[in-house]
């Protein structure tokens, strides 16, 4: 999703939003509030940045999904989010990394991306484990993220060697 990629770049270039007092978890705690705080184009950019900075690409997809919900509810857009993105929005707080990964694959399929590509699959797992580790903060979640990172790095090394 190009919009998520653009948003990720903007948020990573911005000042640390959580240091300024915005907490991503608080912004996402109320789904209706999130539609307003993250979806409204006139909303505070730091709110979007807080979610993206905390949850990475998954956070960017969350923001893009809330933006689309906002537009659909106001009749500015006819096409709702892909079902996988709506599921991510509605259940992010309780999803395991494997479930997030499956939803990311569904979002890619909805955009016509080959979700069977090995490199994309490794990065999907990396994004999913990063989001869960950031959300949960558990040792197990952190280990899963480090394992996914190692797999992506191994794959990159193989690509460079060939």
Question: What are the tens digits of pLDDT across the range 45-103?
Answer: 999 999 999 999 999 999 999 999 999 999 999 999 999 999 999 999 999 999 999 99
- 44 inside domain: yes
Q: Are 115 and 102 in contact (CB under 8 A)?
A: no
Q: What is the pLDDT of residues 94-140, one digit of tens each?
A: 999 999 999 999 999 998 888 788 889 999 999 999 999 999 999 99
Is 54 inside any structural domain? yes
CA atoms within 13 A on the CB side of 162: 6
Please tell me the pTM assigned to this model.
0.94
- Which residues form the domain of 7? 2-94
For the chain, the domain total comes to 1
144 within some domain: no
Assess if residue 133 is contained within a domain.
Answer: no
In a domain, residue 101? The reply is: no
């Amino acid at each position: 999703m190009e919009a998520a990629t653009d948003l990720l770049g903007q948020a990573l270039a911005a000042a640390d939003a959580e240091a300024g007092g915005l907490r991503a978890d608080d912004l996402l705690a109320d789904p209706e509030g999130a539609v307003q705080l993250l979806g409204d184009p006139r909303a505070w950019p730091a709110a979007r940045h807080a979610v993206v900075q905390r949850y990475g690409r998954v956070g960017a997809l969350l923001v893009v999904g809330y933006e689309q919900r906002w537009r659909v509810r106001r009749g500015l857009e006819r096409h709702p989010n892909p079902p996988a993105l709506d599921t991510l929005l509605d259940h992010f707080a309780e999803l395991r990394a494997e479930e997030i990964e499956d939803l990311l694959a569904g979002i890619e399929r909805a955009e016509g991306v080959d979700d069977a590509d090995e490199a994309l699959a490794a990065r999907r797992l990396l994004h999913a484990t990063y989001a869960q580790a950031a959300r949960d903060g558990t040792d197990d979640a952190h280990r899963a993220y480090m394992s996914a990172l190692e797999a992506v790095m191994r794959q990159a090394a193989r690509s460079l060697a060939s």
